[in-house]
Each structure stands twice: as C-alpha cells, then as structure tokens.
Amino acid sequence: MKENRTEQGWWNTLPQDWTAPLRGKDGTEIEVPLREHPALRKYASKDEAVKALVHAQRLVGRKPDGYVRVPGPEAEPEERNAFRSALGLPKRPEEYGLPELDLPEGFEVDGKLQGEFLQVAHELGLTPEQVHGLYAWFLPRNVETVRAMEQDREDRRGKELESLRGLHRGDTRAVLEAARRAALTLGGEELLAVLDETGAADRAVVVSALSRLAPVLLEGRFRFRDAGAARTITPEKLKEMMRDPRYHDPLQRDPAFVDKVAKGFATLYPGKYEPGTRV
C-alpha cells in the first residue's frame, strides 16, 4: 500500500516539542510544531531537508553576484561614491556626454538649461542610459511644443487681421500704420516691443483703438513730452488758473503762466478752442 506522505511522512518522526514560526494568511506569526510546518512537505526525506539546510547556511552573509548595498542617509561619502561607481554613474555632470540630435533650422540648445538638466540628473543618481533616453525624448518634444505655439500665434494673427479687414476694408493698411505711429508716440520702440511680445499688437481691438487715438496724439500741440502735466491738469484746476491775476489781469499778466494755461487747454481739449468757452 502506498504511503500517505501527508499523514505518515518522515516529519512525523520529529519531536513534538520542536517548534518553528509560521506566518498565516492574515500576516500574523505563530509558533507551530515543526512536524506540522508546511515547509517540510516539499522534501522527500529527512536527508533531503538536511542538505537543503546546509546549503542555505552556506549562502548566509554571501552577496549574490551583482548585489550592491544601497547606502542609507548616514552613509559616508566613500560609500556613496562606491555605490555610484557600481551603477556606472559619472563623477561629474558634464561627463554624461549627451547624444547629438538634429534640430530644425532656427533652433538651438540653451547651454545654461542643458547644464541644469545634467546637474539635476547627477543629483538624482540617473545612469547615463537614463539621461540619454530622457534627453533624446525631451528635446524633440520641446521643439514640437515651440512650433505648435508659433503656429497657434500665426493662426490667431491671421484671424485678427481678417477681422480688421472686415471692419476697415480698403483702409486696413492705413489703420495699421496709424496704430503703429500712435504706439510710437505713446511709448516709443519699447512699447512696440512689449505689444509684439505679449501678442497685443496682433489684436484687432488694440489696433483699432490705437488708430482712433492717432489723430489726437499726432497733433503738433499734443505730444507726450508734457505727460507729467497731462496727468495732473483737470477742468477745475484750469478754472482756478484762469482766475489767477497772472492770467486775466493785464497789469500782472505773466507770459509763462499764460502759456501754461494754453497748454492745459491743449491737453484737455485737443483741437481748436477759445479760452473761456469750454470751461
């Protein structure tokens, strides 16, 4: 009759008081009689189990091939350097050696940004293969993103120009030129640069508004060389100045003060005017 190894196996010959820890399915560890431990069921005989135990003892404390201990936070610099060397990490960020990638005309790599990328990669402990892979993926993606942004701006500029043409028809070119001259009068080349960088120069509403300001801004008497006075002059202030003897009294008349009043009128009411009729 065939032996029932589950009930009559060699492990039943072990002393009842020999115990061993066993972790249950719920994670709880308990002590069970060694003869009931399921780990022994895979060995056909006691000799087999003993050989396995001896072999396991030989492996205790031995580092498997390729094993590298990860240094903890308290590790010395030498241990960390040995770990990095085992992983094949370079000693300095610039030693990664990035691959050469073909870039479209007009694109070039920002050397400062590239240096920061290598520095962070080195601090994170990335291998050269990882760094090369990330770089080869990121750079083309960055070019695609920039191209998409440029195309989006061109599309929006085209739509805004079509909107301007719908409003001004054959006068569109004149409106664009008037808006440019008004912007130059207001803030010079610096304002033009800001309008262009922010995309405001492409907006139909901005161009139309500047073109409507142009006739006023470009009159000889109304330029922003007196911008400080333009910000402080008010109708009430102008009335007060006209009541000053230096303006209305022929005996005390001050030409410089009279000119100041005239400039105040020119600022508040550009175009032809008659003092005393608008205030």
Same domain, 209 and 159: yes
Same domain, 153 and 205: yes
Strand partners, 273: none
pTM, two decimals, is 0.44
- The phi-psi region of residue 77 (left if phi > 0; otherwise alpha if psi is between -120 and 50; otherwise beta) is alpha
Residue type, 15: P
Q: Which domain holds residue 21?
A: 5-59
Residue where the block lists tokens 């033009």: 192
Same domain, 228 and 213: no
The C-alpha atoms of residue 151 and residue 141 are separated, in whole angstroms, by 15
Same domain, 55 and 12: yes
- Residue pair 231/267 in contact by the 8 Å Cβ criterion: no
Query: How many folded domains does the chain comprise?
Result: 3
Q: Is residue 202 situated within a structural domain? A: yes
Same domain, 228 and 193: no
Q: Is residue 18 situated within a structural domain? A: yes
One digit per residue, the tens of pLDDT, for the chain of length 279 reads 344 444 578 988 888 889 988 888 787 888 989 888 888 888 888 888 888 887 777 666 555 555 566 677 777 877 777 777 777 788 889 888 888 888 888 888 888 999 999 999 988 889 899 999 999 999 999 899 989 988 998 898 889 888 888 888 888 888 888 888 888 888 888 988 898 888 888 898 888 888 888 777 765 444 444 444 444 567 778 888 889 999 888 888 898 888 888 877 776 665 444 454 443
Q: Please, which contacts does 90-96 make with residues 24 or more away whose CB atoms are closer than 8 Å? A: 90/122, 90/128, 92/122, 93/118, 93/119, 93/121, 93/122, 94/118, 96/121, 96/122, 96/128, 96/131, 96/132
CA atoms within 13 A on the CB side of 160: 17
Q: Is residue 30 situated within a structural domain? A: yes
Same domain, 241 and 201: no
Same domain, 207 and 230: no
C-alpha torsion 111→117→120→125, nearest 10: -120
Same domain, 228 and 211: no
Whole-number pLDDT of residue 65: 57
Q: Is residue 119 situated within a structural domain? A: no
CB atoms closer than 10 angstroms to residue 211? 22
Same domain, 213 and 229: no
Same domain, 175 and 235: no
Show which of 17, 37, 59 is a domain's final residue: 59
The C-alpha atoms of residue 145 and residue 157 are separated, in whole angstroms, by 18
Q: Is residue 25 situated within a structural domain? A: yes
Q: Is residue 277 situated within a structural domain? A: no
Written as six digits, the tokens of 234 are 């008010």
Q: Is residue 234 situated within a structural domain? A: yes
Q: Is residue 111 situated within a structural domain? A: no
Same domain, 165 and 201: yes
